[in-house]
Structure 1
């Protein structure tokens, strides 16, 4: 007497050999292995405040050149923009267009006393020369301090006597750190500086010290 067919259990699906072959199902003996999981989660890149620099201007002016875009790399001290500023031009113009002055000596005038006139007149000429020299020194030092405050380096200030006055309105804006530009806040031709105008041109981040936060 033939055996009765096994009753179908609930939830079980039976496939014939032809169905298995058509579906491309393959079986193999289970063995040791490693399961890898790759979760995909939203995250936020948080720049370190200690390694972020905002490249700003300290004088009113107009942006005439922007050399970097977001994503570009910059080196420390690299020129990233140029502005034109009347304040910069006027301050640069106060630096003498000649080699640094030396203190006028009294001895050469005394040696020429016979041709210059009486001693009291020679002495008066020396005092006037000294006063003029000291006044010029005070003005030059004040101009140098202001240019330094406005962002010019010592080498740039020392080179002013060799530069044409037509270039005095231009100021180079440099990056204080090496990194990557993450934001550009102005467009070409924008007015920048004080009096409620934009002062920041770029934001730069040194990505070597950037932390990452993930949201689960």
Structure 2
């Protein structure tokens, strides 16, 4: 059977088009990949610069433990104020929530206990004044006797006696000054200011009113006294509590089972329920030495900065404890992992320009890195950037 010339020409044209199409397809597909076989892909030398290869290194992964916590006052910057004297409260000065400075008056108490040190001061002032008068007389006497002795009008013994009287008077003044200083200090202890002490020394008028003052700067966080209430000196309950609120304590309750992974210095990430959108970070300062017999939890404490006073005592918090559990594992960048549903894949360079597709088992994620538990080892060369391009070409 003979074929017509026109039919043969058409077949030759179709064949030529097929060859051209194959060449075009080959050129397009080979732009990234020179060849592939099974789980291997070979890239062209011209395209290798689009890929970043990194060696797998070990990374210490942190374990995150979750605990509940509560905000409280910084007990290292908190004090309670009591009255050293018995008496009746006659005036409340500092208010709850008020900011006070050291020495600020808090409360006034009518107490007979403050009269003896005041009387001692008045007596000490009188003793000092008398001693100074005696010193003035002794100086005059010594000067007069010395002049007489020099003029041969007095015996040496008389001059020596005058000198002895002068020395004794000087000693009496020093003793009186020491006693007065001690009395002034006792008045400071009971709440008298230097101005009040000076006025008492000058006028000699005593008062049964004692002022209890703030020992530290801070905020009045509690007041447990009322006008007319009788306080019993050292046996009385605290009148005020003052706390420096520039920092607060966070107490987290950590289960006993988690304590093995927790260390002093581990970082706490704290989120307070009442303060939406705000978080705090602080290192663990103290791990408690006692476990609760009922809850089997141990208190872990940290100090949180509170410059704006947003943190309040008794606020509830959720605490994340980041701790290194002592093990290292191979780690790869997140962008190096191809995720296929429940499967994870990385590309490993097994020789120059040749990459192998490997399925891996991932563990924890930390700061842009995945822990790899199976599939690769430390020292392997992986595609850190460009894995998605190799994967796409492999799938074609």
Determine if the alignment matches structure 1 residue 51 to structure 2 residue 51: no
The structure whose Rg is larger is 2
Please report the RMSD computed on the Cα atoms of aligned residues, expressed in angstroms: 3.7
Say whether residues 1:82 and 2:108 are aligned partners.
yes
The alignment status of 1:174 with 2:213, answered yes or no, reads yes
Is 2:248 aligned against 1:205? no
TM-score by length of 2: 0.36
**Equivalent of 2:223 in 165, 184, 200:** 184
Asked if 2 retains the 8 angstrom alpha-carbon contact of 1:98 and 1:161, the reply is no
Give 3-state SS (helix, strand or coil) of 2:228's partner.
coil
Corresponding residue number in structure 1 for 2:142: 110
Q: How does 1:148-159 map to 2 (within 5 A)?
A: 148-159=188-199
Deviation readout 1:138-183 (Å, 9 max, x if unpaired): 54344223223334344543342235625x2122222123332111
Deviations 1:27-58 (A, max 9, x none): xxxxxxxxxxxxxxx97440101221222222
**CA distance in structure 2 between the partners assigned to 1:143 and 1:53 by the alignment:** 27
How many Å apart are 1:196 and its aligned residue?
2.7
Which deviates further from its counterpart, 142-151 or 51-60?
Answer: 142-151
Work out whether 1:214 is the aligned partner of 2:316.
Answer: yes
Cα distance, 1:176–1:142 mapped onto 2, change above 3 Å: closer
8 Å CA contact retained: 2:84, 2:190: yes
Could you list the per-position Cα deviations for residues 58-93 of structure 1 after superposition, in whole angstroms to 9, with x for gaps in the alignment? 222221111133223323322121112222122112
1:9-158 to 2 correspondences below 5 Å: 44-96=70-122, 97=125, 101=129, 102=132, 104-105=135-136, 106-111=138-143, 119=158, 133=173, 136-137=176-177, 139-158=179-198
* Residue aligned with 2:235, SS: coil
Does 77-86 or 153-162 show the bigger shift?
Answer: 153-162
How many residues were matched structurally? Answer: 171
Between the aligned partners of 2:204 and 2:70, the Cα distance in structure 1 is: 49
Assess, with a 3 A threshold, how the Cα gap between structure 1 residues 195 and 182 changes in structure 2: closer, same or farther: closer
Contact persistence 1:76–1:177 (CA under 8 A): yes
Structure 2 contact 85–234 (Cα < 8 Å) conserved: no
Answer whether contact 2:128 2:173 (CA < 8 A) is retained. no
Give the whole-Å Cα distance in 1 for the aligned partners of 2:218 and 2:198. 29
Q: Which runs of 5+ in 1 are unaligned?
A: 1-41
1:81-136, Cα deviation, whole Å (9 max, x unpaired): 1112222122112214579644714330234569xxx9498678768856764664
Against the structure 1 CA distance between its residues 112 and 85, is the aligned structure 2 distance closer, same or farther, given a 3 Å change threshold? farther
Q: Judging changes above 3 Å, is the alpha-carbon distance between structure 1 residues 63 and 57 closer, same or farther for their aligned structure 2 residues?
A: same
Kindly indicate which of the two structures has a greater share of residues assigned to strand: 2
Tell which has more relative contact order, 1 or 2 (C-alpha 8 A, sep 6+).
1
SS at match of 2:120: coil
**Does the residue aligned with 1:54 lie in a helix, a strand or coil?**
strand
- For the structure 1 residues 76 and 149, does the alpha-carbon distance in structure 2 shift closer, same or farther, using more than 3 Å as the test? closer
* Cα distance in 2 for residues equivalent to 1:147 and 1:64: 19
